[in-house]
Chain A
Amino acid sequence: MLKTEGLGYWYQDKDQPLFQDINLEFDIGQSYAILGHSGTGKTTFLSLIAGLDKPKEGDILLGDRSLKKIGLTNYRRKDVSIVFQAYNLFTYMSPLNNLMTAMAITGAKHAGDKVYAKQILNDFGISEELALRNVQHLSGGQQQRVAIARTMACDAQLVVADEPTGNLDEDNTRDVIAQFQKIAHEQQKCVIIVTHEPDVADQCDHQFRLENKQFTQLA
């Protein structure tokens, strides 16, 4: 589904790249964990496949189409959903309105369908009462579930998450990872999670470690 071809990235000096010549492939219905120490460039890699930044060299292909041709804004709207460590929800809205807004912006097929949005929230453990409260009145775990539910509400086939369990306790972490697995296997989406927690990575179908500017697939 998603393929990187000779991907490379550096900040100032081309001779000191974060990573280079990366050739990876991610498939639908699978979950992937990208591990690595801080500063190795795993979040930068995620920002490239999420369409938040452009690679310095190489290309990213969605199916057969290059992201350069699709256009980053179009790609972010139609093909990818992002979950952040800090949830990044609209703080002046309720969980329901967060989902409705995301559906409207991305032009999801259920855009404007409140019942559908409530159902998704309910599937992620957000009751109807909670769905109508301001998101700031929800716990961290609940907010992260709303953020994941938002990716479900949109029709994107690719879900990328940057340290999604970074602010959560053990129970919530387990719960969130289970939700991601459900999205990958039941919804047939491709889930890529960047994490530094081996326990989280262990629950994913595939693991990659970014080390010495290269990705290594772990058994």
Chain B
Amino acid sequence: MNFFKRAWLNVWAKKGRSILLILVSSAILMFVLAGLLIRSAAVKATNQAKEEVGATVTLSANRQAAFKKMQSSSSSSKSSRPKLTLTPVKLSDATKIAKLSNISSYNVTSSTSVNASSYDTVSTSSGMGGNSSSGGPGGGMKSSTSSGDTQIDGVTATSLTSDFSDSQSKITKGRGITTADKDTNHVVIEKELASQNDLSVGDTITVKKTTGSKSKVKLKIVGIYKASATSSSSSPMSTDTSNTMYTSYTLANTFKGNKYAGTADSVTFNVKNPAKVSSVKTAGKKLINTSKYALSTDDSSYQTVKASMDNVESFANKIVWLVAIAGTIILALIVILMIRERRFEIGVLLSLGEARWKIIAQFFTEMLMVIVIAVAIAGAGGKLVGDQLGSQLVSQSTTTTQTSTSSSTGQPGGGGQPGGSGSGMKGGNGGPGNVGQSSSATKQADADLNISVSAVDLAELGGFGLAITFLSIMIASGGILRLEPKKVLIS
């Protein structure tokens, strides 16, 4: 194995050439590493997006089936006016679905409206058709379905709603609704409503049911929240956003009437791994009566982030391969020139009876020494290049993704409206939930790639370095294999 010693003696004796080779190799490997870092950061970001952005599956009444039923009944009995009957979701069904794997949590939503009794609702000047929603008890927007002036959003916990999880709404005083508030009269009201009526946490307000006996119910304020201007409840048909109160879904069901006990308008299940949304939906469908209920999925946030990161990953892959191929060609050319310059040395080695493969092994060992140092240099410098390239790529891909998703997500809050006293559904597919989720996707895509050099990255870089060295030596070795010592040494 004398070629190891010869390689070392050559690298050491020709320091200038070795340093130049190290610099060229470092530059090539630095770009390879930058590509590798961006690619692994993109993969990490996509995985993180899976965990953070999440996806949801919503169990609600099957509107399509109900609409068809309504159409068929209207054609058979022309005398009576057709009526769209939506079956409220049974909580027993929701419990079954919640037991499926990949479901991390779920939120029961039951919405209705009541009329203010002991307080004044907040007026808005931009009501429908120019009419202002009148304040005062019994005021507010009246609809044909006898809806009240105060919107009641019954939930399992406020923290599970998209408005609160996406910070569209924030608790400013007291606390939000939690699972412990089940079967209580606790309520969380909006800050503007509280200040207008001089209400604070611990106070009691009275509301009047819009159904049945239309009796009055006392509610205890446990928290005050601040809603943003684009809160999901501000659909065109609703009262002012400030007139929305959060309660436990059990209380909302009480307002709707006795027959709504143990039901909900919809149940939203949070899926741990967004990639499993489809399988969760399929498994869930087997547990419900699909003629009455529907399961809809929403993984748009995940898809938005995934698309953005896929772009970055694909570009990083191209960088890695382009630089690796270009690097191999550049190094091969340098090695060819180096070998041509050392023809006499090769001739002497051949005249001494050295095997050709050992001569090639000597050159490979020399390049390996260079590459090891180059990997170390590239490891130190690759992060800088990766940071620059990564932030540039993310900003470009975010712009592209936002442009393409803005048309697909539609108008915030579209498609849903608070129901009346009956079986009102709050927002169908593409309803209020979409507002928060599209903004969270933007947040994710805006985030910088977390680029860091790990041992795995360095090992992968070493692998690329080794492959580039091996290929360039193999390409350049054709000359050694063909070299005739007589021509070099005698002529």
- Interface: A187 (CB within 8 A): no
Check if A88 sits within 8 Å of B348, measured CB to CB. Answer: yes
- Interface: B100 (CB within 8 A): no
Chain B residue with minimal CB distance to A134? B13
Interface residues of A (CB under 8 A from B): 43-44, 46-47, 50, 52-53, 73-78, 82, 84, 86, 88-93, 97, 101-102, 104-106, 134, 154, 162
Check if B351 sits within 8 Å of A50, measured CB to CB. Answer: yes
- Interface: B406 (CB within 8 A): no
- Interface: B455 (CB within 8 A): no
Check if B348 sits within 8 Å of A90, measured CB to CB. Answer: yes
Q: Can you list 20 A-B pairs with a CB-CB distance of less than 8 A?
A: A44-B490, A50-B351, A52-B485, A52-B489, A53-B486, A73-B355, A75-B353, A77-B352, A84-B490, A88-B344, A90-B6, A90-B348, A91-B345, A92-B9, A92-B14, A101-B6, A105-B352, A105-B353, A106-B352, A162-B490
For the complex, what is the distance from the CA of A84 to the CA of B347, rounded to whole Å?
Answer: 11
- Interface: B2 (CB within 8 A): yes
B5 contact set on A, CB distance < 8 A: 101, 104
Check if A106 sits within 8 Å of B351, measured CB to CB. Answer: no
> Which of B13, B350, B351, B352 has the most chain A CB within a 10 Å cutoff?
B352
Task: Assign chain B's interface to a size class.
Answer: 20 to 34
A129 to chain B, nearest CB (A): 18
Check if B353 sits within 8 Å of A78, measured CB to CB. Answer: yes
For the complex, what is the distance from the CA of A198 to the CA of B14, rounded to whole Å?
Answer: 41
- Interface: B10 (CB within 8 A): yes
Q: From the candidates B10, B345, B349, B489, name the one contacting A84 in the complex (CB within 8 A).
A: B489
> Which of A75, A76, A154, A162 has the most chain B CB within a 10 Å cutoff?
A76
B484 contact set on A, CB distance < 8 A: 52-53
Check if A47 sits within 8 Å of B486, measured CB to CB. Answer: yes
Interface residues of B (CB under 8 A from A): 2, 5-6, 9-10, 13-14, 344-345, 347-355, 484-486, 489-490
Chain B residue with minimal CB distance to A46? B490
Chain B residue with minimal CB distance to A150? B352
B348 contact set on A, CB distance < 8 A: 88-90
Smallest CB-CB A-B distances: 5 pairs: A77-B353, A92-B13, A76-B353, A104-B2, A52-B486
Check if B353 sits within 8 Å of A88, measured CB to CB. Answer: no
B490 contact set on A, CB distance < 8 A: 43-44, 46-47, 52, 84, 162
B352 contact set on A, CB distance < 8 A: 76-77, 102, 105-106, 154
Chain A residue with minimal CB distance to B355? A73
Q: From the candidates B2, B349, B351, name the one contacting A52 in the complex (CB within 8 A).
A: B351
A91 contact set on B, CB distance < 8 A: 345
B361 to chain A, nearest CB (A): 13
Chain B residue with minimal CB distance to A76? B353
Check if B2 sits within 8 Å of A105, measured CB to CB. Answer: yes
Check if B353 sits within 8 Å of A74, measured CB to CB. Answer: yes
B489 contact set on A, CB distance < 8 A: 52, 82, 84, 88
Check if A105 sits within 8 Å of B349, measured CB to CB. Answer: yes
A76 contact set on B, CB distance < 8 A: 350-353
Check if A93 sits within 8 Å of B347, measured CB to CB. Answer: no
Check if B351 sits within 8 Å of A88, measured CB to CB. Answer: yes
Chain B residue with minimal CB distance to A147? B348
A73 contact set on B, CB distance < 8 A: 350, 353, 355
For the complex, what is the distance from the CA of A43 to the CA of B351, rounded to whole Å?
Answer: 15
For the complex, what is the distance from the CA of A89 to the CA of B352, rounded to whole Å?
Answer: 11
Check if B10 sits within 8 Å of A105, measured CB to CB. Answer: no
A20 to chain B, nearest CB (A): 19
Q: From the candidates B345, B353, B485, B486, name the one contacting A90 in the complex (CB within 8 A).
A: B345
Knowing A76-B350, A88-B344, A105-B353 touch, does A97 contact B486 (C-beta < 8 A)? no
Chain B residue with minimal CB distance to A53? B486
Chain B residue with minimal CB distance to A81? B352
A105 to chain B, nearest CB (A): 5
For the complex, what is the distance from the CA of A141 to the CA of B490, rounded to whole Å?
Answer: 20
A84 contact set on B, CB distance < 8 A: 489-490
For the complex, what is the distance from the CA of A101 to the CA of B5, rounded to whole Å?
Answer: 9
B14 contact set on A, CB distance < 8 A: 92
For the complex, what is the distance from the CA of A82 to the CA of B488, rounded to whole Å?
Answer: 14
Check if B10 sits within 8 Å of A92, measured CB to CB. Answer: yes
A89 contact set on B, CB distance < 8 A: 348
B152 to chain A, nearest CB (A): 88
Q: From the candidates B347, B353, B486, name the one contacting A106 in the complex (CB within 8 A).
A: B353
A74 contact set on B, CB distance < 8 A: 353
Chain B residue with minimal CB distance to A91? B345
